[in-house]
Amino acid sequence: MKAAVLFETNHPMEIRDLAQDPPKSGEVRVKVGAAGVCASDRHVMTGSSILPLPVVLGHEAAGTVEEVGEGVTHVKPGDRCILSFVSNCGHCRTCRIGLPNICETNLETGASQYDGTTRLHDGDSDVYQMGKLGAFAEYIVVPQQACQPIPDEVPFSVGALIGCRVTTGVGAVINSPAARPGISVAVFGCGGVGLNVIQGARLVGASRIIAVDIYDHKLEFSYKFGATDIINSREVDPVEAIKELTGDGVDMALDSFGNADVLAGAVRALRRGGTAVSIGLAPVGATAPIDIVDMIRGQKTLVGSYYGSVSPHETFKKLVDYYLKGRIDIDSMLTRTYTLEQVNEGFDAIAAGEDGVGIINFDS
Ligand SMILES: [Zn+2]
Ligand SMILES: [Zn+2]
C-alpha cells in the first residue's frame, strides 16, 4: 500500500510501500478517492504543529469503504464517504455535552487508533495517521465513526473539501449564535478556510462581507464566493479600513489565518457587542495582545471555533445539501490537482500563496 510518509520535519514526504493491518473491531478500510492539500498538514511538516513521526499526513478526504471489521454497523463495503478527522467516541464529557468536534478520547489517542496502536508499519517501525486518517495513502484503516456516507452525485474531491475546509469555514459562521441576516462580517485570510467563511457569511445573509488578505489575486478571487469589499492589509491598516467602510466596525470578524496580530486586529475591528472568531491555527504556544478595556466596554466576544463548532457530521450533511442545491460553490475552489507522487508540489503551492485549493486525485 503506497503512502506519502513524513519522517522528519522540514523535509519532503517520501512515497513508501507500507504494511497495513486489516481493520480491527469497529474499524473500516477505505480506498481513498481524493485528499485535500491543507495548511494544517503543512503546520506539521514545518514543526509548528506537533505529531509523532513517522506519520502519514492528509486529514481532508473522501473515499469508498472496502472492508469492515467486527461490529461495524454505521457503514458497509461500497459506501462512499466523507472522512472526519475527529472520530468522536460518543461517551466522553465533551461528546456528552454536544461537542463531539472536540472529543476528548480522540484528542488523547491522537494519531494512533482508539486502542493506542497503529495500523501502518514501515519495516519494524510503526507509522502514525494524522487525525486517525493519514489520507495521503491509497488505503486507510479508520474508526467507523470517521465515515459519513454521501450520495453518488458528490464527487470525491468535493467530499474531501467538505471533510475539512468547507466545514471549518462555513461551519464557523452558520453554527455561530452571532450569525444573523443583515450582519456585517470581516474575514481575515482568504485561503481555503477564509473563502468558506465568506461563503458561510453569504449563506446567513450578511449585508457586507469584507475580505482581508495580503495578496491582491486572493482578494480578487474572494469576490467569487461572496466578498463585497476587499482590503489589502499590506497596503493599509485593515482595522482602520474596516472602520472607515462600516462607520463603527463589523458584527463578526473571523481570523482564518491564525496569527497574534491578526486576531487582536479582528477584535479591534468589531463594533460594540460584536463577536470575533479564532479559526486559523497559530504555532503552538502563540498568544495575542487583546485590548482588555475595549473588550469590556465594547462588550465584545472572542471565541474559538474548531471543525465548524459542532458535530462535524451534522455540518457535513448540511453542506452536502447546500452543494447539491447549488447554494455553495466548492468546484470553483479546486484550482490544482496532483497525483500522490506530486504531494510535495501541492505544499509548495500553499507556501507560494497560490489561489484556491489543491487536491490529490487517486486513480478510480
Ligand atoms: Zn485541513
Ligand atoms: Zn468523545
Q: By three-state DSSP, how is residue 251 classified?
A: strand
Which residues lie closer than 8 Å to 244 by C-beta, 6 or more apart?
none
Nearest to 206 by CA among 229, 231, 180: 180
- pLDDT tens-place string over residues 237-273: 999 999 999 999 999 999 999 999 999 999 999 999 9
Catalytic residue (one of 49, 59, 256, 313): 59
Query: 43 catalytic, yes or no?
Result: yes
Cα of 310 to ligand 2 centre, how many Å?
13
Cα of 313 to ligand 2 centre, how many Å?
14
354: pLDDT confidence band, cut at 50, 70 and 90? confident
Containing 318, the helix (H) or strand (E) segment is helix 312-324
Residue 206: its pLDDT value, please?
98
- Mean per-residue pLDDT for 325-339? 95
Containing 28, the helix (H) or strand (E) segment is strand 27-37
**How far apart are alpha carbons 83 and 296 in whole angstroms?**
40
- Mean per-residue pLDDT for 63-90? 97
pLDDT at 116 over 70: yes
- Mean per-residue pLDDT for 304-314? 97
Amino acid identity at 338: Y
Nearest to 197 by CA among 272, 268, 250: 250
341: pLDDT confidence band, cut at 50, 70 and 90? very high
**How far apart are alpha carbons 39 and 165 in whole angstroms?**
10
**How far apart are alpha carbons 309 and 174 in whole angstroms?**
9
Nearest to 164 by CA among 47, 312, 311, 280: 312
Residue 355: its pLDDT value, please?
79
State the first-to-last Cα distance of the chain, in angstroms, to the nearest integer. Answer: 15
Provide the percentage of residues in the chain whose pLDDT is more than 70.
100
283: pLDDT confidence band, cut at 50, 70 and 90? confident
- Mean per-residue pLDDT for 271-299? 95
Q: Which ligand is nearest to the CA of 103?
A: 2
Q: Which ligand is nearest to the CA of 59?
A: 1
Containing 296, the helix (H) or strand (E) segment is helix 292-297
**How far apart are alpha carbons 361 and 364 in whole angstroms?**
9
- The grid coordinates listed for 31 are 480506498
Cα of 280 to ligand 1 centre, how many Å?
10
Which residues lie closer than 8 Å to 342 by C-beta, 6 or more apart?
360
Query: 164 catalytic, yes or no?
Result: yes
Q: Which ligand is nearest to the CA of 97?
A: 2
Residue 329: its pLDDT value, please?
96
- pLDDT tens-place string over residues 125-143: 999 999 999 999 999 999 9
Average pLDDT, the chain: 96
Q: Which ligand is nearest to the CA of 98?
A: 2
Query: 207 catalytic, yes or no?
Result: no
Cα of 246 to ligand 1 centre, how many Å?
32
Cα of 179 to ligand 1 centre, how many Å?
23
Query: 81 catalytic, yes or no?
Result: no
Cα of 318 to ligand 2 centre, how many Å?
22
**How far apart are alpha carbons 220 and 240 in whole angstroms?**
21
Give φ, ψ of 281 to 5 degrees. Answer: -75, 130
Residue 353: its pLDDT value, please?
83
Question: How many helices (H) does the chain have, and how many strands (E)?
Answer: 12, 19
Catalytic residue (one of 43, 87, 233, 313): 43
Cα of 38 to ligand 1 centre, how many Å?
5
Q: Which ligand is nearest to the CA of 92?
A: 2
pLDDT at 359 over 90: yes
Q: Which ligand is nearest to the CA of 95?
A: 2
**How far apart are alpha carbons 69 and 269 in whole angstroms?**
51
284: pLDDT confidence band, cut at 50, 70 and 90? confident
**How far apart are alpha carbons 175 and 178 in whole angstroms?**
9
Catalytic residue (one of 38, 89, 147, 190): 38
**How far apart are alpha carbons 155 and 162 in whole angstroms?**
11
Query: Between the CA atoms of 240, 201, 41 and 22, what dihedral angle is there, to the nearest 10 degrees?
Result: 170
Residue 140: its pLDDT value, please?
98
Residue 95: its pLDDT value, please?
97
**How far apart are alpha carbons 319 and 307 in whole angstroms?**
13
C-beta separation of 201 from 210 below 8 A: no
Containing 337, the helix (H) or strand (E) segment is strand 334-338
- pLDDT tens-place string over residues 178-230: 999 999 999 999 999 999 999 999 999 999 999 999 999 999 999 999 999 99
- Mean per-residue pLDDT for 306-327? 97
Cα of 264 to ligand 2 centre, how many Å?
31
Residue 159: its pLDDT value, please?
98
Catalytic residue (one of 92, 95, 164, 190): 164
Cα of 52 to ligand 2 centre, how many Å?
21
The DSSP-derived string for 56-105 is E----EEEEEEEE-TT--S--TT-EEEE-S----SSSHHHHTT-GGG-HH
Query: Starting from the edge strand earliest in sequence, which strands make up the sheet with 301-304, in order?
Result: 229-232, 208-213, 184-188, 250-255, 270-278, 301-304
Query: 59 catalytic, yes or no?
Result: yes
Cα of 164 to ligand 2 centre, how many Å?
19
Cα of 83 to ligand 2 centre, how many Å?
17
